[in-house]
A = this chain, B = another copy of it.
Amino acid sequence: MTSTDRPAGRPTRQRRAVAEVLESFDDFRSAQEIHGLLTARGQTVGLATVYRTLQRLADADEVDVLRTEEGEAVYRRCSPTHHHHLVCRTCGATVEVEGPAVERWTRAIADEHGYADLSHHLEIFGTCPACLSG
């Protein structure tokens, strides 16, 4: 019973469409890009609805959100478990990573300074093998 009992909400055509398109890429995309993908697929979904749906999914931890250097929010369907991201600075290719080492480290550091009720954000940026050889 980790989190199955959510307010649910109605499974509308638009929400299904967004959920589906989220499966079609594995890097981070902006709301506008996602809206574009939907349109390209012939799915008609209002931009505002795309924004609303993505926020709902983010609140439910069903997508991860992060901010580009320019401050734009980008979204990605991710594992439900805690993890971080290794992102290609060039093509966006993303790998989910995890490890007890960082988790331990952040907790230790925070304890040391008396901070409680912790959370953390960590992303690693680099150039992926494909872009390196390209």
Chain A interface (Cβ < 8 Å from any Cβ of B): 67, 71-73, 86, 88-89, 95, 97, 99, 101-102, 105-106, 109-110, 113-129, 132
Contact = CB atoms under 8 A, between A and B. Distances in A.
Contacts of A72: 71
Contacts of A97: 109, 113
Contacts of A129: 113-115
Contacts of A118: 124-126
B121 A123 contact: yes
B109 A99 contact: yes
A102 to B, nearest CB: 5
19 contacts: A67-B67, A71-B72, A86-B109, A86-B113, A99-B105, A101-B101, A102-B102, A105-B105, A109-B124, A110-B124, A110-B126, A114-B129, A115-B129, A116-B132, A117-B126, A117-B127, A119-B125, A120-B122, A121-B123
Contacts of A88: 115
